[in-house]
């Protein structure tokens, strides 16, 4: 179909964050939006936000999002004049482009010939050499004999990088350190490549020991014009997957920026490119750069380019797909400030980044409480509170993008924004992202593609809690107890419990990983909190140290915690029995339990007694109907391997128990009915 054909309906052949992001621009341009979905995504956010949605098939991607014929049929059924593929799935699938051409539907992306030219890495290297784009020394030939490949590797010099010719995403890729390990690595790469791509061909490159991953955003129209929208540094990676990205790349001279940008445009024009593309380079410490590959689609990290240029790249894509000329010429494009993007994944960094699933009980960002400028912070997400995180797809939940006048300001904004991001119900890498962003080496721009590996010892060091962190978490816990007893607001009460003053409460705190340790464990810290009835301050005793502590609520989730006159502003919230305290320097998560004999007060326990924590009933100490006196033990619970005795709140009798020994109870469950004497 001619690229000059306008369209008024756009089908987004993707899901999650990128589908929502594309539809946002399409709506702003007045286009009708169509979503597609699998059975697992029937109620997903991108489906809810589209003007209409069409089912593709079962949950498995190969039976839904990867089915070319189903996507084309959905476009025809909905009357869509164009399809935007997003990234991943069918975004670099030439068969889809050809099918759309036959159906008379516009593909928002390059022609099939350009996708094919860059899809085969060996052939792409030859085309780039022809265009005068610098290449890493290596072997990209058709002869795949084992002996020849080993000889070429020996000639290049170790270490070398073995890469699947048809590969991507880190599959079929290994670093070979010596000639002795070459054959085993080759065999492994071939197995991975065959399984992932149905192709065993390999290419070999010199492995640069401390390269940076710097990529250039290019754009070409169907009238022969091409520009570059500057560069992004994507060096912070794990398993060849990007984690943090920034634009512009730190330390770039104007000369090097222009040289890389012009090389990227030559690469795009060499293959007749149209639309948005990214040319990825390895940048060596001496300023040399080498072509790595070209992604013939919109990149995950495109928002940082939008932030520094002020351009909407999806709008550019749609206008170019309609046959329009590029909105700006090269001389009209400028860089303003600095931008970072952090990818939020449902995964557990402490468990080798194992993907996580579940239901998001809370997904929010407290911009007001963190005092962040909404114009400087952008959260591109495909989920909302209440959404399920499925096992079927990539675990990325959202992208947090920030902007500052310079790198220092942008990094400070990133850390404040990460602190303001509250995700509950599913394990995420949020705290790990903050450790990366606050790492001294990252702040000092000591960047290369092995950044995480080189700094693993500090990035994954066991958390050591300070007295101030224990005190802050205890203070949040004490105010939570006050709320449960007296108020619906978590921070509004500052007058303690309604018992005769002074009153002391004991709380056990520990790392959530050690929540089952007992109170004699070195991993558990006991805090005693005492407060006079008319006094707004708590007196916290931790070991031999006593601090005067106060908590004041601010906007949103923000609180001010004052310890011995030192006031700090931070974000504080609870995730079950875990207190989460976050500031721009990092996160503290501590599991807390009340461990004293709990006196609920006569007024509140005249009819019921509730569980102060999740735990197990150990024993019932009296019979139903028994006459008891105030303070008499009624039942014993166990939590954190510590026993907690529930006592009579007043003189009276136990009408009935709601649980038996060995039963599990949740925080707030009614344990027994109690009748106080008149």
DSSP structure string for 300-330: TTHHHHHHHH---HHHHHHHHHTTPPPSS-G
Contact 540, 474 (CB under 8 A): yes
> Which of 630, 632, 620, 609 is CA-nearest to residue 677?
630
Given the residues 297, 343, 435, 594, the one annotated as active site: 297
Contact 364, 340 (CB under 8 A): no
**3-state SS record for 576-641:** CCEEEEEECCEEEEEEEEECCCECCCCCCCCCEEECCCCEEEEEECCCCCCEECCCCEEEEEEECC
Contact 478, 561 (CB under 8 A): no
Residue with tokens 């008499």: 632
Is residue 522 classed as helix, strand or coil in its secondary structure?
Answer: coil
Contact 109, 45 (CB under 8 A): no
**How far from chain centre, in Å, is Cα 314?**
22
β-pair type (226-238, 212-220)? antiparallel
Is 297 in the active site?
yes
Phi, psi for 224 (deg, rounded to 5):
95, 0
β-pair type (82-84, 106-107)? parallel
Contact 257, 303 (CB under 8 A): no
Contact 471, 579 (CB under 8 A): no
Number of H-type helices and E-type strands within the chain: 17, 39
> Residue 445 — left, alpha, or beta (φ > 0 → left; ψ -120 to 50 → alpha)?
left
Strand positions, DSSP E, 151-220: 160-164, 173-176, 202-206, 212-220
β-pair type (138-139, 627-628)? unpaired
Contact 93, 24 (CB under 8 A): no
Q: Which residues are catalytic?
A: 297
């Amino acid at each position: 179909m001619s690229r000059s054909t306008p369209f008024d309906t756009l089908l987004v052949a993707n899901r999650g964050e990128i589908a929502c992001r594309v539809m946002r621009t399409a709506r702003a341009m007045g286009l009708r939006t169509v979503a597609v979905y699998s059975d697992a995504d029937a109620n997903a956010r991108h489906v809810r936000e589209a003007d209409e949605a069409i089912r593709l098939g079962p949950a498995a991607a190969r039976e839904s999002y990867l089915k070319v014929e189903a996507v084309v049929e959905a476009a025809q059924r909905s009357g869509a004049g164009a399809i935007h593929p997003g990234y991943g799935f069918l975004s670099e699938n030439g068969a889809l482009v050809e099918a759309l051409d036959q159906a008379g539907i516009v593909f928002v992306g390059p022609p099939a010939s350009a996708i094919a030219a860059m899809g085969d890495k060996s052939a792409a290297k030859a085309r780039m050499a022809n265009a005068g784009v610098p290449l890493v020394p290596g072997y990209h030939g058709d002869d795949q004999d084992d002996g020849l490949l080993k000889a070429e590797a020996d000639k290049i010099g170790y270490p070398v990088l073995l890469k699947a010719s048809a590969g991507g995403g880190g599959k079929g890729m290994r670093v070979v350190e010596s000639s002795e390990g070459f054959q085993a690595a080759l065999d492994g790469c071939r197995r991975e490549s065959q399984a992932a791509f149905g192709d065993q061909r390999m290419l070999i490159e010199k492995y640069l020991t401390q390269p940076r991953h710097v990529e250039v955003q290019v754009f070409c129209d169907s009238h022969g014009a091409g520009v570059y929208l500057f560069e992004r540094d994507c060096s912070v990676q794990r398993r060849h997957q990007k984690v943090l990205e920034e634009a512009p790349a730190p330390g770039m001279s104007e000369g090097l920026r222009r040289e890389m940008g012009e090389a990227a445009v030559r690469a795009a024009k060499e293959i007749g490119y149209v639309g948005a593309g990214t040319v990825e380079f390895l940048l060596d410490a001496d300023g040399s750069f080498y072509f790595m590959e070209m992604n013939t689609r919109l990149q995950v990290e495109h928002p940082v380019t939008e932030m520094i240029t002020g351009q909407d790249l999806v709008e550019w894509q749609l206008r170019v797909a309609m046959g329009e000329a590029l909105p700006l010429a090269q001389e009209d494009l400028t860089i303003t400030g600095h931008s970072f993007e952090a990818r939020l994944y449902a995964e557990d960094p402490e468990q080798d980044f194992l993907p996580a699933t579940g239901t998001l009980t809370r997904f929010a960002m407290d911009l007001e409480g963190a005092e962040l400028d909404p114009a400087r912070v952008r959260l591109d997400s495909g989920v909302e509170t209440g959404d399920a995180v499925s096992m079927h797809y990539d675990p990325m939940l959202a992208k947090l993008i920030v902007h500052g006048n310079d790198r220092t300001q942008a990094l400070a904004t990133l850390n404040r924004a990460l602190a303001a991001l509250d995700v509950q119900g599913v394990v995420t890498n949020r705290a790990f992202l903050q450790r990366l962003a606050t790492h001294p080496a990252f702040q000092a721009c000591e960047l290369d593609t092995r950044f995480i590996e080189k700094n693993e010892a500090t990035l994954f060091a066991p958390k050591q809690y300070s007295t101030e962190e224990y005190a802050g978490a205890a203070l949040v816990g004490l105010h939570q107890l006050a709320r449960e007893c007296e108020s619906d607001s978590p921070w509004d009460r500052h007058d303690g419990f309604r018992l005769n003053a002074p009153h002391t409460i004991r709380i056990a705190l520990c790392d959530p990983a050690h929540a089952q340790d007992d109170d004699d464990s070195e991993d558990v810290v006991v805090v005693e909190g005492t407060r006079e009835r008319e006094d707004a301050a708590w007196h916290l005793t931790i070991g031999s140290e006593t601090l005067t502590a106060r908590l004041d609520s601010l906007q949103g989730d923000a609180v001010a915690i004052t310890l011995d006159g030192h006031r700090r502003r931070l974000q504080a919230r609870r995730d079950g029995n875990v207190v989460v305290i976050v500031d721009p320097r990092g996160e503290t998560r501590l599991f807390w339990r009340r461990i004293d004999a709990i006196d609920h007060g006569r007024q509140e326990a005249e009819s019921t007694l509730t569980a102060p924590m999740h735990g197990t009933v150990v024993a019932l100490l009296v019979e139903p109907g028994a006459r008891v006196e105030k303070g008499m033990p009624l039942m014993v619970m166990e939590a954190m391997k510590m026993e907690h005795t529930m006592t009579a709140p007043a003189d009276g009798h136990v009408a009935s128990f709601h649980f038996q020994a060995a039963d599990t109870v949740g925080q707030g469950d009614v344990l027994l009915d109690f009748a106080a004497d008149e």
